[in-house]
Amino acid sequence: MVSGTGRHRSALGRLKYLARFIFGPVGVPSSTWARISDLALFATLILALLLQWYAAEHVCRHVLLAGGQENIGRVDGQLILAGNGSGIGSLTWELRRQECGWPYFITTTLDPIRANWVMDGEGSSGRIDVVPDEHPIGPLIQQIVSNHGNAAVSKASLSPGRTSVYWTSLLFGTSLCWLGLFLAIRVIMVFSRVGFLLQRGYAGSMKARRSLQGRCPSCGYNLDGLDFAAKCPECGALLW
Ligand SMILES: [Zn+2]
């Protein structure tokens, strides 16, 4: 029972040590290492936000929400095209939603409705495309698309829609970027600190060895017969 508690404590202690090693301050508080670490935490947040902004601006995918075909003749009284009175025709329309961001899509915009229509063999727009402003058929297409029944589609219009933000994805994506960038910097910091400590340890042991051999700890100059010298005659280092 006692050993069980002890093992539990040591496992917990090891976890805490690991967590401190990765996330805690590097080196003693308010040391240069700790200050660099704090700076890295702040700088990587800025970098993560910039990355998210860039991704929201540039990494986009088009999603086809809906496509529809309606007989224009069904809607009476609104078919006056070029003074032609009683047009019967067909309409093909499509609506795309643009999603941008990385690693998750964080903004979404409804593109303008795109359509192709044929009226009595004339007035065909040729291919599916954005309906020009002020085109007489515009309100009719708008109405047909609005009646499609899909909630997202009913918000569509002939002009580009408002951009909205996926807040959860933004938060999650930014946190993920931040964590990744910060961990990368921490790994570099931990390795450089280990190298620094090893080098300091090596320099310390070399000084101790030189002192024992009666040589200057700084430059290794032989101090035989200079037992009472205050400074090394070679490099000027204080000997005691
Ligand atoms: Zn010396």
Residues 99 and 174 in one domain: no
How much distance in Å is there from the Cα of 234 to the middle of ligand 1? 5
The DSSP secondary-structure symbol of 222 reads B
> What is the distance between the alpha carbons of residues 40 and 182, in angstroms, rounded to a whole number?
7
Segment (H or E) for 178: helix 167-212
How much distance in Å is there from the Cα of 201 to the middle of ligand 1? 19
Residues 80 and 155 in one domain: yes
Residues 156 and 210 in one domain: no
Which residue, 156, 175, 165, 25, is CA-closest to 108? 165
Residues 88 and 158 in one domain: yes
Residues 125 and 65 in one domain: yes
The parent domain of residue 178 ranges over: 24-56+166-216
Residues 155 and 69 in one domain: yes
How much distance in Å is there from the Cα of 213 to the middle of ligand 1? 13
Domains: count for the chain? 2
Residues 178 and 158 in one domain: no
Last residue of some domain: 163, 180, 196? Answer: 163
Helices 32-58 and 167-212 meet at what angle, rounded to 10? 150
Q: Which residues pair with 89 in a beta bridge?
A: 119
Residues 52 and 171 in one domain: yes
How much distance in Å is there from the Cα of 238 to the middle of ligand 1? 8
How much distance in Å is there from the Cα of 194 to the middle of ligand 1? 28
How much distance in Å is there from the Cα of 216 to the middle of ligand 1? 5
> What is the distance between the alpha carbons of residues 142 and 78, in angstroms, rounded to a whole number?
12
> What is the distance between the alpha carbons of residues 75 and 90, in angstroms, rounded to a whole number?
11
Residues 50 and 63 in one domain: no
| Residue 92: burial class (beta carbons within 10 Å; 0-12, 13-18, 19+) | middle
How much distance in Å is there from the Cα of 205 to the middle of ligand 1? 16
Question: Does 4 map to a domain?
Answer: no
Residues with CB under 5 A from ligand 1 (ion): 216, 218-219, 221, 232, 234-235, 237
Residues 129 and 195 in one domain: no
pLDDT tens for the chain, 240 residues: list them: 444 444 556 888 888 776 766 666 666 667 777 788 888 889 999 999 999 999 998 888 888 777 766 655 444 333 333 333 445 567 778 888 888 998 889 999 888 988 887 766 555 567 778 888 888 788 888 887 887 777 777 888 888 888 999 999 999 999 999 999 999 988 888 888 888 888 888 888 888 888 888 888 888 888 888 777 778 888 888 876
Residues 117 and 153 in one domain: yes
Question: Does 77 map to a domain?
Answer: yes
pTM of the model: 0.59
Question: Does 2 map to a domain?
Answer: no
Whole-angstrom CA distances from 165 to 177, 190, 208 are 18, 37, 63
Q: Note the pLDDT of residue 33.
A: 78
How much distance in Å is there from the Cα of 157 to the middle of ligand 1? 83
In tens, the pLDDT along 22-78 reads 666 666 667 777 788 888 889 999 999 999 999 998 888 888 777 766 655 444 333
Question: Does 233 map to a domain?
Answer: no
How much distance in Å is there from the Cα of 32 to the middle of ligand 1? 29
Question: Does 13 map to a domain?
Answer: no
Question: Does 227 map to a domain?
Answer: no
- What are phi and psi for residue 129, nearest 5 degrees? -160, 175
